[in-house]
Amino acid sequence: MSVRTVIPARSAWSAVVPEGASLTITDLHGNQAVDFLVYDAHDTSVRYSAPDTIQAQGGIFLTTGSVLLSDEHTPLMTVTADAVGRHDTVGGACSKESNTLRYGHHTYAQHACVDNFLAEGAKHGLGKRDLVSNINWYMNVPVEKDGTLGIVDGLSAPGLALTLRAERDVLVLVSNCPQINNPCNGFEPTAVEMTIGDAG
Amino acid sequence: MATATTYGARAHARAQEGARVEAMPVVPAADWPAPPCEAGHLVWAETVAGGNYTHRVLARGTELRLTDLRGDACAHLLLYVDGRPWERLNVADTVKVQWNAYLGEGVLLLSDQGRVLASVIADTSRRHDALCGTSTLVRNTARYGDGTPQSPSPAGRELFKLAAAKNGLTARDLPPSLSFFQGVEIRDDGSLDFTGSAGPGASVTLRAEQDLTVLIANVPHPADPRPDYVSTPLEVLAWRADPTRPGDPLWDATPEGRRAFLNTAEFLTARGLA
């Protein structure tokens, strides 16, 4: 038994994934960044921590075997399969405000991930202070020797997927990234598919 | 001294005034023995013990110098706009907007609202970290046997919770933090290389570009591989100075930074603060 949902381009989505169940994210058209936050479903003050995840696995890229840790250093989800091989957890979400710094004030009217997170999170009682550095599935953010870091062309392709296992009951918040000013979406946001599967 | 009576207990307590230890605030700050500025300009002078924390509100334009006295300090830092804590340090925006994962002189510490909270105006350490955050109760208990604040090995997050509470904030208000004086470098494959510190005496100076609530925890870096909890005193000095203004080389150093300063100036001007 599984539940499939297609998230249209630029949209937000959320769901509770029960402990032991799987969540598969499919990049339907390729090169689409999926901004992702995860919380303990019963205590949303316990939430995804990019720094704890990075320090525990000793590296910045996420792939099969990566355990997504909370800011209390407890496991929330584990990546059990990944057809892409590298995902980002350093770059965070786009916002109308950060867009003015990255590209210019002409981008201020564009929709952005933080707005998606705020609108979708509000359905679960989450507010701005609950937003922290997030995961960007399918986004490619290398770091050069001198520290230069940037979003570059993605490694994904149409139909590639990754699967997560919930290590406890978790609330997942997704912004299907609306960014059109950098290569994270190939400059054209597209739909992605979320599938929640049974425990097993 | 007899402390069996109220009078004796009072006399005993009062006799302690004037005691000096290494890790303590000096109040007034102007009494600090060797000020790095005009003595009357010092607003904060403190030595923070290893495994301890501090917090303060600083006015826009204040310069804040942190010094690793013995080479094993690690200053974990969080910043909020004072009175508007929903505008706070955003580590992801800080590295992404400035196209660099490392901290050092010239780096702006950005809020989640497209504005500057503080700028790094001097740095003799170059061993800092924006990726690994701070330590937790779970991790310190596993590594050192305990991570509670009263233990010999307090976790940074537990100390941040206390510092936050004293400013009306809770754990929900604690985003990823920065750490100064203990560095991490990133290899080509994305793995981390812990570089440790630059040694005793290194300092970093920040300039407040808005009125700030500053939280500092001085605890070992979470990637420090040593089996023992090693944390030595951190010196904190702050003094009145001027915020970054148009014409300052930092204002125009990058197009992203210039727009961050412009956003900040616009916001402060509208509020009647600049």
Judged by CB atoms closer than 8 Å, whether chains meet at A90 and B95 is answered as yes
Q: Pick B113's closest partner by Cβ from A54, A97, A147.
A: A97
Cα dihedral B25, B177, A80, A140, rounded to 10, equals -150
Alpha-carbon distances of A143 from A55, A99, B42, B257, rounded to whole Å:
16, 21, 39, 20
Nearest to A114 by CA among B173, B172, B90: B90
Tokens of A196: 């929640």
Is the confidence at residue A200, as pLDDT, over 60?
Answer: no
CA–CA min distance A87, chain B (Å): 11
Mutate to test the interface with A, among B88, B107, B131 (most CBs of A within 10 A): B131
Is the confidence at residue A198, as pLDDT, over 90?
Answer: no
CA distance A117 to A60: 23
CB-count burial class (<10 Å; 0-12, 13-18, 19+) for B150? exposed
Q: Is B137 on the interface with A (CB under 8 A)?
A: yes
Judged by CB atoms closer than 8 Å, whether chains meet at A129 and B190 is answered as no
Measure CA B109 to chain center: 12
CA distance B79 to B90: 9
Q: Pick A54's closest partner by Cβ from B131, B138, B170.
A: B131
Residues of B in contact with A130 (CB under 8 A): 172
Give the mean pLDDT of chain A.
97
Q: Is A155 on the interface with B (CB under 8 A)?
A: no
CA–CA min distance B225, chain A (Å): 11
SS3 A181: coil
Mean pLDDT for A150-164 is 96
CA distance B60 to B71: 29
Tokens of B1: 């001294």
- Return the residue matching tokens 């290194």: B202
B residues 89-128 near A, CB within 8 Å? 90-93, 95-97, 99-102, 110, 112-115
Interface predicted TM-score of the whole assembly (ipTM), two decimals: 0.97
Is the confidence at residue B271, as pLDDT, over 70?
Answer: yes
CA–CA min distance B48, chain A (Å): 24
Q: Is A133 on the interface with B (CB under 8 A)?
A: yes
pLDDT at residue B274, rounded to an integer = 83
Q: Is B9 on the interface with A (CB under 8 A)?
A: no
Q: Pick A73's closest partner by Cβ from B139, B172, B190.
A: B139
Express as a percent the part of chain B with pLDDT over 90: 97
Read off the pLDDT of residues B248-262 as tens digits, 9 standing for 90 and up.
999 999 999 999 999
- Cβ atoms of A36 and A192 within 8 Å: the answer is no
Q: Is B49 on the interface with A (CB under 8 A)?
A: no
Read off the pLDDT of residues B86-121 as tens digits, 9 standing for 90 and up.
999 999 999 999 999 999 999 999 999 999 999 999
pLDDT at residue B47, rounded to an integer = 98
Tokens of B262: 């412009």
CA distance B171 to B175: 9
Mean pLDDT for A35-40 is 98
Mean pLDDT for B242-246 is 97
Express as a percent the part of chain B with pLDDT over 70: 100
CA–CA min distance A194, chain B (Å): 25
Mean pLDDT for B21-42 is 94
pLDDT at residue B39, rounded to an integer = 81
Tokens of B115: 């504005």
Read off the pLDDT of residues B164-186 as tens digits, 9 standing for 90 and up.
999 999 999 999 999 999 999 99
- Cβ atoms of B147 and B140 within 8 Å: the answer is yes
Judged by CB atoms closer than 8 Å, whether chains meet at A131 and B112 is answered as yes
User: Chain B: residue nearest A98 by CA?
Assistant: B114
DSSP output for B155-216: -HHHHHHHHHHTTT--GGG----EEESSEEEE-TTSBEEEEE---TT-EEEEEESS-EEEEE
Q: Is A49 on the interface with B (CB under 8 A)?
A: yes
Residue A1's pLDDT band (boundaries 50, 70, 90)? Answer: confident
Is the confidence at residue B226, as pLDDT, over 80?
Answer: yes
User: Chain B: residue nearest A134 by CA?
Assistant: B92
